[in-house]
């Protein structure tokens, strides 16, 4: 079975939710550059200060910053048996940087070990998903106020914490993130297809339906 999973798709297409499920099932880490960058912002690191100005506008953070964060993460011991990447690579340049990083750290190769899964969903539906997205600051469970609401409005079902909304999940920045996605990230579809490592799923249904489709692809269960 493949060891490196790359989840590709527009913002809010449900990659994060499915990445967590796959990472639990395979006991490999879920690596999400957005969260790694937000952690740097929270900790007020030098990288975080640079990243914030780009994230606030819905633009991609410069490749040097992202590559540095991701290289450090992929070298950790828990990545030795594989990992699921969510939100990276986000451009052809980043895909090439990923190959270089894997080569430098002596772990895996894209052609042999990676599977890229493209989450196919209608963009307009996604803007609504994004502005209604909330998450638990304690356990990171993701909710959607319309399609997957918590039992008590605004509070986590698991830890009872008040849910929070990401700063960049407002309509203006969400639209900017889609423009960035189309320009920078969408070309990765053809890039990975040509490499022969791409599969796609219709990601417009419910979370459990998407998970079933994903398992079929990954474990080739019928």
Least Å distance, CB 165 to ligand AMP, is 13
Q: Is 183 a catalytic residue?
A: no
Least Å distance, CB 56 to ligand AMP, is 8
* Integer Cα distance of 77 and 91 in angstroms: 26
Nearer to ligand AMP, 85 or 198 (CB): 85
DSSP H helices in the chain: 15-26, 33-42, 46-55, 63-74, 92-105, 110-113, 123-131, 171-180, 188-195, 207-219
Q: Is 129 a catalytic residue?
A: no
**Contacts with ligand AMP, 62-91, as mask; x by CB under 6 A:** ----x--------------------xx-x-
DSSP-derived secondary structure for 48-61: HHHHHHHHTTTPPP
Contacts of ligand AMP in 150-179 (CB under 6 A): 168, 177
> For ligand AMP, how many residues bind (rule: CB under 6 A)?
17
Host H or E run for residue 84: strand 83-86
Paired tokens of 105: 């750290």
* Integer Cα distance of 11 and 87 in angstroms: 9
Nearer to ligand AMP, 49 or 152 (CB): 49
Closest chain position to ligand AMP (CB): 34
Binding of ligand AMP by 101 (CB under 6 A)? no
């Amino acid at each position: 079975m493949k060891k490196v999973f790359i989840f590709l798709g527009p913002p809010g297409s449900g990659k994060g939710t499915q990445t967590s499920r796959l990472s639990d099932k395979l006991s490999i880490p879920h690596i999400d550059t957005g969260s790694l960058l937000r952690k740097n912002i929270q900790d007020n690191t030098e990288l975080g200060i640079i990243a914030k100005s780009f994230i606030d506008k819905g633009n991609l953070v410069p490749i040097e910053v992202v590559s540095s964060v991701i290289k450090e993460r992929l070298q950790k011991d828990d990545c030795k048996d594989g990992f699921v990447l969510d939100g990276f690579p986000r451009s052809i340049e980043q895909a090439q940087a990923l190959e270089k990083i894997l080569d430098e750290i002596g772990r895996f190769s894209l052609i042999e070990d990676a599977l890229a899964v493209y989450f196919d969903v209608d963009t307009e539906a996604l803007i609504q998903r994004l502005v209604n997205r909330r998450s638990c600051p304690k356990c990171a469970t993701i909710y959607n106020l319309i399609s997957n609401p918590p039992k008590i409005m605004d509070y986590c079902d698991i830890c009872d914490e008040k849910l929070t909304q990401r700063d960049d999940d407002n309509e203006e920045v969400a639209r900017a993130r889609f423009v960035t996605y189309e320009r920078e990230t969408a070309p990765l579809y053809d890039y990975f297809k040509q490499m022969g490592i791409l599969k796609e799923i219709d990601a417009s249904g419910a979370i459990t339906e998407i998970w079933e489709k994903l398992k079929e692809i990954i474990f080739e269960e019928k």
